[in-house]
Structure 1
Amino acid sequence: MALQVGDKIPSFKAIDTNGATFESDSVVGKQSVVIYFYPKDDTRVCTEQACSFRDQYEDFKALGAEVIGISADSVKSHQKFASRHQLPFKLLSDSDKKLRKLFGVPNDLLGLIPGRVTYVIDKDGIIRLIFNSLSGKIHIKKALEALNNSL
């Protein structure tokens, strides 16, 4: 069953861009978090989305929020993607798609492409926004609006 607005984010672990184990409890429940699932590193829309989060990263930090990107790409792919585009936030590898299943992220385009969904979680670990759209850039605007509204 997919997570809904008002649900508490379950604890999870994944390997981050640095090859280290990331534990969600290190940030969830301590500060606001924006978790965005995206289909694939270095595709046009995914790159636009990541770079838009990068370009407004200080706005997220000013609101007390951390940004985390998740896709099924390998750690090595994430490292290249993050380095190439100077991404200041963590990317998590979900190669076994366990996180996608845990959150209930649907596939898009007749089930052919992994979904693009953004979750805004407040400092208590409660989901305040779930935004599902193939358009990458609008996710940043919606996430910032949700963070501003929850302050």
Structure 2
Amino acid sequence: MNTNLATEPLGIGAAVPAVQAVDQDGNTVDLEEASRNAIVLLYFYPKADTPGCTKESCGLRDAYKKFIDHGVRVFGVSMDTVSAQKRFAEKYHLPFTLLADPEGKIVDAFGVTKKNGHATRQSFLIRNGKIVWHNAKVNPETHTEEALREIERQSS
């Protein structure tokens, strides 16, 4: 089985697909609905509670007030289970929604590449149900600053 599936990520202007997942608290989240009249930062990461993913998620956590001040909802997605996402969110006090995507439905819908059974690190900024920015090679060290810069650029 090929676990390194090459897919094409959704491009700028693409509509958010009609896809649902369960969050860390067991609630069903419909991403199409959640992003319809909102600004959403949707970030994909390989695995909860690993060094790079922790650094990236804690960076977003530490700047969370800035995202809220810009009216941005943050969603993290990995192919982990609901319980793994819950442990990750609780351990690091992550204030945003983490979506469990063990079957890779969201990963596939957004065209995020999988490597060794995990989503690759990518980020999408969505405004009113349409993708307005995509970073296909997210650096966990700089992701928060890059996303905030893009949000501020689009707000001006």
- Give the TM-score normalised by the residue count of structure 1: 0.91
Alignment partner, residue 128 of structure 1: 132
Q: Of the candidates 122, 125, 130, which is equivalent to residue 117 of structure 1?
A: 122
CA contact (8 A) 1:129 1:143 kept: no
5+ residue gaps in structure 2?
A: 1-7
Equivalent runs, 1:72-151 vs 2, <5 Å: 72-107=79-114, 111-112=115-116, 114-122=119-127, 124-133=128-137, 135-151=139-155
The residue type paired with residue 114 of structure 1 is A
CA contact (8 A) 2:77 2:98 kept: yes
5+ residue gaps in structure 1?
A: none
Aligned-partner Cα distance in 1 for 2:152–2:18: 25
Aligned-partner Cα distance in 1 for 2:150–2:130: 12
> 1:94-134: CA deviations, max 9, x gaps?
00001111000013xxx435310000011x21111111225
Aligned-partner Cα distance in 1 for 2:13–2:39: 14
RMSD: 1.4
- Give the TM-score normalised by the residue count of structure 2: 0.89
CA contact (8 A) 2:61 2:95 kept: yes
Percent pairwise identity: 32
**1:6 and 2:6 equivalent?**
no
Alignment partner, residue 59 of structure 2: 52
The residue type paired with residue 119 of structure 1 is F
CA contact (8 A) 2:19 2:105 kept: no
- Structure 1 position 20, deviation (Å): 1.1
